[in-house]
Amino acid sequence: MPKKQRHTAKKTWEILQSEGFAGGYTIVKDAVRHIKKISKEVFMPLSQRPGEAQVDFGHALANFNGTLKKVVLFVMSLSAFNQTKLLLVKKLLLCYYLDNC
């Protein structure tokens, strides 16, 4: 798990306190230690049948004639065919994806 997505026992205790938890730090620290000891990292393979796709959106900076502009990325993965399609657009508008803007 990326570092920025991990919480220390202290951070977890602080979050719990802000949500009304009245217990002490030691009980949270012991629980976190136990959970880390028994937990395993899990990976799920991505698999789609032909005709199914995984779609995601994101943002990137693109260079247009020397000027950096923020663009929207539309990424579609067709794992059954080992293909990825990428579309860059200026704005997040449905018509860009339907080719009728």
Per-residue pLDDT of the chain (101 residues), as tens digits, is 566 667 889 999 999 999 999 999 999 999 999 988 888 877 777 677 787 888 888 888 888 899 998 888 888 888 777 888 888 877 776 766 666 66
State the pTM of this model: 0.42
Q: Which residues contact 90 (CB under 8 A, 6 or more apart)?
A: 69, 71, 72
Question: Are the C-beta atoms of residues 86 and 73 closer than 8 Å to each other?
Answer: yes
Q: Where are the domains of the chain?
A: 7-38, 54-97
